[in-house]
Structure 1
């Protein structure tokens, strides 16, 4: 690589402290970075509209319900955000969300009534769920990084494989009679709020710190901006990419555990179709599909906005058959507004 090429590469700028994540915490905020806060006014407006539509909207019980139902999806958005920042994508997250708790339920749920095998005690459910998530991530990273295969095709194929495996082990039925260990995180309350909300907020807070204030986080932006320049600068790109992909799958498995605990079951179709909402929330929140740009805070506001809108539509009595179409229209409008107010969605 010539010196001119390295000089023209954008990675060093992307890797500098404060580019992206730190602008939320003080200092001069460039106009292009205001898009990280672009959804905050929209969230306020939706809250006002929701209260006008139905006074129940701003009641604590309803707000907690919105946060709890979005917590599982938010973890998928967090996973996809990190992967998109390094200029990769993972379509298999939604299937991992179903297969990981599905395998655990298959092994620990009693045979017969619960449709499981009953081979392991219930205490093994959580470790098995998380282990399956890690294994899926390792397989994805092996195919993408070591074999150099296209990430989109690999994870698309993995999505189909994992979905088929879950359908196969469940026989197309739903696992129920889950052990207490699988129910706990989805049903427990800590300090008056569901545990899943605390877990979601804590993980997003950790991600904000890691991506904004550590060398590892800066390396993600550097790789997403220009992988070759990041490698030339001494960043171990393959190792970082592997960690990000595996962490994403682990978060998807945890999301599946939270959802299974809340519903007290694991359906054979758990997670199907979630990936569309995940990408929508991430992109609306300012995450570039071209890598190297966006913040965790922006991604969080994206998923929060989508779930608030869905809740308002439900409270307004909009038929469920139309909510999907309206959500799609709202996503297009939000992207347009985001483009106008904060710069390009993708550069």
Structure 2
């Protein structure tokens, strides 16, 4: 007899089956499982979560604008996914290490990224957009799902050292169809590695819907490997924080890998080279716009008596962050051509020296030709 396959739920059912603390209208609901993990969050921290999401959205919008204006080669928008990224990342301890994909602008923001850190790689000037050691974040990974293997390897090192750190890796729903992600989960489960897998199910792997990729909810994939797994409403920043906190606690306590499926939505394009109007309808986008994570958190704070001045101050701070990002991007300028030879080998190498000398000679030949033309 063939195994019973549970058809994947539609969008509304996905959300109803997800852990939640805040409804889309910002009203608070009781959640016996998660409430203890947000009970110690004070008013200042609640305001900070909203602030982080608003600033992230402005940084993201500025990144798109800079790419459109030719300042960046590419940008991977995260509009709509702010609650998942900020909520989960704010629960990660400073000593933990993060392995992101290319869309985790909010995660590196939460880990302390500076304005230039968001754009160097997308401008084509650095292999890593930031100093991985300073942020505790591996370089943004373009190869789909590869970072999950790196995270498990790092987690095995933590285990070997007897440390209390945790490795955390982020990936999208499309990556769950890659072999790397499945191999990483198998290895993590086999050796009970202290790693947390965070799947941002934004419903689209470029132009392929998640319903085509999986006949079952994605949370069942990790659970199938024996990894404790939870599905959360990824547009609820408090719930995202709480499930991340619980997963990190479990992994840190030696209970092996943990997995989170955050049900969210990519409101923008896959990247700035993509046109989402070619493969999805406006009804779907409007449905998710009505579940905007920032609007939800703002409504919650308004219900707690937050003033209009608070929101105005947050918007002003976000505008300053966007302006700073633009200024830092424009002032970067092109890198020296010789930079391409740096870090090819860890030590000086004669072949690199030869290539560097040839490049210099080649560049000089153009100057010589220009001078000769002027003399004639």
Q: Confirm or deny a common fold (TM above 0.5).
A: no
Larger radius of gyration: 2
TM-score (norm 1): 0.30
Greater strand proportion: 2
TM-score (norm 2): 0.28
Greater helix proportion: 1
